[in-house]
Structure 1
Amino acid sequence: MWPCQPPTRGYAAMPIGPSFDAAPAAPGERQRVAGRWRRRRERNRVLNVPLLTLTLACDAAHPRYGGRAHRPPRCAVGRRATIAVFREGTMHRGEKRAKTRARLVEAALNVFAFGGYEHATVDEIAHAAGLSKGAFYFNFNSKEEVLIHLVRQWADERTSLLNAAFAFERDAGQRLRSMAEALSTYGRGTNWPPLILEFWSQAMRAGEVDRWLRRAYRDWRQLLATAAREAGSPEPGVTADAILAIHDGAVTEIALGRTSASTRSAASLAAMVVGATAVAPAASAAQAAGA
């Protein structure tokens, strides 16, 4: 192979032995070699094929230097080797950082839920994630930033559930019931309910947490009020507030350990609210007809 170091940008490369950049080269030879290496690198990146290449250059026996007076000494210059390792499934730097952030967020969720936000430390979060303290500060500035990230993640998940229930159900009454149950139901083994209590506690101290919580509850109230209005509720805002209160009560009971009871009570209360919403317009219409 030609005595030219291939482009190694973006890959782990280790030069072995002294370089031989002073050797004369034919016009355009370096450009051709670099282009060939670029094409080979792109091909292996696309095919995702593991590749181990070892380029040995500047050998005195190389035909390029055969019979030339300026041929480099075999031992003085030796060989130049470049090892480029292409591993299968090589992770992009952005993907690797995203996975690291996800590990830190998951670890922070567990640490905050079990030990409380006030007593949690960055060392505990990094240790729970199996990472170093430096990795934490590379991705987050403080544990408050992680808490805000968790608030936004939880709010986005609940909003997605509400939107899915709103779009899936065609019957207005069943739509409101499904939205109330989706908002108030948490799976077994989840650590969100005790962490939500931490959200409420920190909202009184941290303005950023309070701002995100207010925004989430405002959006949920608008969605629930819209569904209640379509279901025929005479007071959609009151119905939405009742469903949000059911959610907060369910979260508190799950955090206290009464998981099954709180799930059933949340579903039952949601059905009662929806039933009252559907009955009220009918009763008002009957009274008006009797009068």
Structure 2
Amino acid sequence: MRLNYRKDGIFKILQMTDTHIGNMPFHADDEKTFDLVRRAIHKLDVDLIIHTGDIIWSEGVKDADIVFKKFIEIFNESDIPVAITFGNHDTEEIITRSDLRQLFDQTVKNKAEKVDIAIFDDRENYVIPIYDASNTEIQNALFVLDSGAASPLPLSEYDWNQPEQVEWFRKTAHTYLKGDHVKRHLVFQHIPLPEYWQATDKILAGVNKETNERISSPTINTGLFANMLLNTEIWGMFVGHDHDNNFDGLFNDIHLVYGNVSGYQTYGELTRGVRIIELNQHTQDIKTYTVTNDEL
């Protein structure tokens, strides 16, 4: 589905993350997650839903494909376009990312239009263009990257953006430049970049309450943030992964933001919820805030 601003010049994105749906029959906490997701979809007035990974548990989960399908069928209860990427827990055993992408394509009726698609080692990267209210010109580009799963080397616990992905981002993002240095484009993935550590020094909103590693990023830095910075028109990045973080931090004038953990069947003390990202075509402002389960 091609996306465009409303007539009033507003476009709203709902980010959910880390739902961690597990084995069937579903645990009571999974049922609470289903309920939260349904109420967010039906009560929040948004134009796009993006899930930034760890949609399911896959390790030790029988019939992970059926679990995944049952969760994403919820999206068919509304007409809101949907996009996803994957986290470190989605494909830990037999099921693959290509398996899940195929299930998503076959199951979800209203999929956001994806362009500039590139797949590296079964990790899909793509762009979602958002057009103006007249549906003629691209105003914003959403870059969605698959940040991987476990580290392939004994250097850190989690994977990093592959150099091929960073080069894809550099080249692709350049084609969306308007040349006015207005920060308008957004990046979405699951695992935070190492620069999220520096963003904790300037938290604009939200909390940083992880008790072990405050930021669970890879130790290898392959330069994605540097390319975001050099692009000059990237407003910020949105991730998941760390369930006790939901902050909006600023580093070198780029927002590094966590979604709010949405799933109950996983660790974390934060009140479950979602994040809203609101774009304004007229002012070119971008604002973001969380909506908790208690507020739905």
TM-score by length of 2: 0.26
When you count helix as a share of all residues, which structure comes out higher?
A: 1
Q: Rg larger in 1 or in 2?
A: 1
